[in-house]
Structure 1
C-alpha cells in the first residue's frame, strides 16, 4: 500500500531512507534545516568499515574521557558543563563500557556494516553513479607496542567474525604504500574495509531522488510535532504545516529535540568531528587510522582528507583551532613528508555526529508513537551504516520482514 512519508533530515540516513521508500512506491518528502550540502554526511572520512566492530562505549573509554576532559586537544574531549541530558547520557555510557556489551555488539555492527557495503555497490551499479568507491582496505598504523598489541587483538576478533584482517610489518607497510614514508612500528590491515568520497555520493543521490519525484524542503526547520492518540498528525515548520501517513526522524544530533515533543527521551549527544582537505600530491593510496592520535586519513577523488576527534560539547559548529592543529600534527608524525598548510587548516570544517550511550544507533518504532520511525544515533558509523539503515526503514514502513534483527537498535531499549 502506497503511503505518504515525511523524512526529517537530509543526511546520508535520510537520503538512503528516501531511496528505498521510493523503490517501494511511497511518496516521499525530505525536510532539512540546512542547505543539504554540509554537516557530518559531507565531512566524514568516507569509510565503509565492518572492521569497526567495537562500539564507542568500550571498556576504559570513560576513564580516558575523564582523563582527557581538561585537555582540549585530546582525541575524545567532553566539555565540562552542568547539563541534565549530558549527565544522563554519561551515566548510561559508563554502564555500557563493559566487555559483555562489546561481545554482544560486535556481530550486530558487522552485519549492518557488511549489508551497507553491498547496498552501496548495488546502488552505484543500478543507478550508474560515478561516485568513488574503492576496496583498498584500511591500515591501523601504530607507533607504540601497546597500541599495536591492542590492534592485533582486534585482528583476531575480526577474523573470528569472518572479516579479512591481518598484521603487517613495517616492510609490508612499505610494500603496500611505496610512494610515501610512514613512521610506524607495524599495523593491522583490514582488507574488509572500503572507502568513498562522501560529497560525490550525496550529490548523485540528491539528483536521483529529485528525478524520481522526491520533494525537498531545504533551509526549513521543523519546530513542532502534533501528536494525537499516539499518531503524529502534523509537522510544523517555520514556513508551513504538513502531514503524512508516516514520519521518519533522521535528524542526527537534533533528533532528541524533536523526539521530546512526543514524550520520547532519546539519549543522544552531538559528537563534533573535524576534517582538513589537502590537494597536495602525497602518494597515499590506502586509508589509514593513526592509532595513537585517533585520526583518519582517506585518499579521495582529487584530494586527501585528514579527519578525526570526538568533541562532545553540545550542538554548535564552532571550529576549535586546537583540535584542528592536533589532526595536522598527527598527520606529520605518521607521514613525515606531509606538511598541511595554514590555508588548508584555516579551511577545516566540522560535522556533528549523533552519539548514543551504547554506540549503537536507534532504528525502529517506539511504543510512544505508531507512525514514527527513528533512524539516528549512528555516531562515527553513519556513513558505514547509511544504506542498510535506509533499507530497514523502508522495510518497517512497508510492513516487510526486516533484513536485520532490529532488537539491538530499539529506540525503547534500557540503559
Structure 2
C-alpha cells in the first residue's frame, strides 16, 4: 500500500530515504530547516568506508578526549558543560567503550558499509545520475611505529573479515602516489574503499527527487508533531500543517530536539568537523587519512579536500581558527611542499555529525510511535551509509523484511 511519508531532514540520510521510498511508489515530502546546500552532507570527506568497522566508542577514546581537552589543536575535543543531555550521553559513551561492545559492533558496521557501497555502484550505473565516484581504496598513513602497529592490527582484522588490505612501506606508498611527496613511515592500504564529491551527489539527488514528484520544503522548521492513538497524524511547521501516514526522522544533530516532541529521548551529540578545499593540483590521487593527526584527504572533482577534527561542543557553527590551523599544519607535515594558503583557510567550512554513545547509528521503528522510523546518529560514516540506510528505511515502511538485521541499530536500545 502506497503511503504519504514525511522525511524530516534533507541531508544524505534524508535524501536517500526519500529516493528509495519513492522508488517503492510512496508519496514523499522532505522538510528541512536549512536551504539544503550546506552542512555535514556537503563538507564531509566523501568516503565510502568498509574499512571503518571499529565504532567511535572504542576503549580509550573518552580518556583521550579528556587529555586533549585543553589543547585547541587536538583531533578530538570534548567541551565540558553542565548539560543534562550531554552528561547522560557521556556516561552512556563511557559504558559503551568496551572491547566486547566494539567487537559486537564489527559485523553490523561492516555489513551495512558493504551494502551501501554496492548501492552507490547501482546508483552510478543507473541512467539517473552522473556523479563522481571512484574506487581507489584508502591509505592510512602513519609517522610512528606505534601508530603503524595499531593500524595494522585493525588491518589484519579486516583481512580476517574478508577485505583486501596491505601493509606498505614508505617506498611502496610512493609508487602508488609518486607525485604526492609524502613524509611518512608507511601505510595500511584498504582496497575496499571508494570516494565521491559530496556536493555533486547531493545536487543531482535533489534534482532527481524533484523531477520524480518528491515535495521538498527547504527553509521550513518543524514546530510540532500531532500524535493520535500512538500514531503521528500531522507534522506542523512554521509555514503549514502536513498530514502523513509515516514519518522518517533523519534530522541529524537536530534529531533529539524533534524527538522530544514525541516523548522519545534520543541520546545524541553533535560532533563538529571542518574541511578546507584546495582548488589546485596537489598531486594527491588516492584518499588518505593522516593517522596521528586524524585528518582525511580526498581528491575530489576539481579540488582536494582536507577534513578533520571531532569537536563535541554542542550545536553551533562557529569556526575555530585553531582547528583550521591544526588541519593545515598536519597536512604540511605529511605532504612535503604542500602549503594551504590563508585564502583557502578563510573559506573553510564546518558541519555537525550526529554521534550516538556506542558509535552505531539509530535505524528502525520506535515503540513510541507506530509510524515513526528513526534514521540518524551516523557520526563520521553518514556519507558512507546513506544509500544503505535509505534502502532499509524504505523496506521497513513498505512492510518488507529488511535485508540486514537492525537489532543493534534499534533506536530504543538501552545503554
Q: Which category describes the TM-score, using the shorter chain as reference length?
A: over 0.9
Cα pair 2:41 2:198 within 8 Å, conserved? yes
1:146-174 C-alpha deviation (Å, 9 max, x unpaired): 10000000110101111111100011000
The reply on whether 1:190 has 2:190 as its aligned counterpart is yes
1:45 corresponds to which residue? 45
Paired residues, number: 415
Give the superposed CA RMSD.
0.7
- Aligned to 1:42, the other structure's residue is in SS state helix
1:329 corresponds to which residue? 329
Unaligned segments of structure 1, at least 5 residues: none
C-alpha separation between the residues in 2 aligned to 1:97 and 1:372? 29
The reply on whether 1:67 has 2:67 as its aligned counterpart is yes
C-alpha separation between the residues in 2 aligned to 1:98 and 1:80? 22
- Aligned to 2:116, the other structure's residue is in SS state helix
Q: 1:127 deviation in Å?
A: 3.3
1:408 corresponds to which residue? 408
- Aligned to 1:344, the other structure's residue is in SS state helix
1:6 corresponds to which residue? 6
- Aligned to 2:158, the other structure's residue is in SS state helix
- Aligned to 2:184, the other structure's residue is in SS state coil
Q: 1:131 deviation in Å?
A: 1.1
C-alpha separation between the residues in 1 aligned to 2:336 and 2:77? 26
Q: 1:125 deviation in Å?
A: 1.3
1:50-108 C-alpha deviation (Å, 9 max, x unpaired): 10111100011111011111222111101121111000000000111111111111111
C-alpha separation between the residues in 1 aligned to 2:272 and 2:304? 20
Q: 1:9 deviation in Å?
A: 0.3
The reply on whether 1:22 has 2:29 as its aligned counterpart is no
The reply on whether 1:243 has 2:243 as its aligned counterpart is yes
C-alpha separation between the residues in 2 aligned to 1:337 and 1:391? 44
- Aligned to 2:350, the other structure's residue is in SS state strand
2:290 corresponds to which residue? 290
C-alpha separation between the residues in 2 aligned to 1:217 and 1:44? 23
The reply on whether 1:164 has 2:164 as its aligned counterpart is yes
1:288-338 C-alpha deviation (Å, 9 max, x unpaired): 000000010000000000001000101011111110110000100000211
1:143 corresponds to which residue? 143
Cα pair 2:128 2:208 within 8 Å, conserved? no
- Aligned to 2:401, the other structure's residue is in SS state coil
Q: 1:366 deviation in Å?
A: 1.0
2:342 corresponds to which residue? 342
1:100 corresponds to which residue? 100
2:310 corresponds to which residue? 310
TM-score by length of 1: 0.99
- Aligned to 1:183, the other structure's residue is in SS state coil
Q: 1:280 deviation in Å?
A: 2.0
The reply on whether 1:174 has 2:174 as its aligned counterpart is yes
- Aligned to 1:36, the other structure's residue is in SS state coil
Q: 1:228 deviation in Å?
A: 2.2
C-alpha spacing 1:248/1:359, structure 2 compared with 1 (3 Å) = same
- Aligned to 2:121, the other structure's residue is in SS state helix
2:374 corresponds to which residue? 374
TM-score by length of 2: 0.99
2:354 corresponds to which residue? 354
1:253 corresponds to which residue? 253
Unaligned segments of structure 2, at least 5 residues: none
2:219 corresponds to which residue? 219
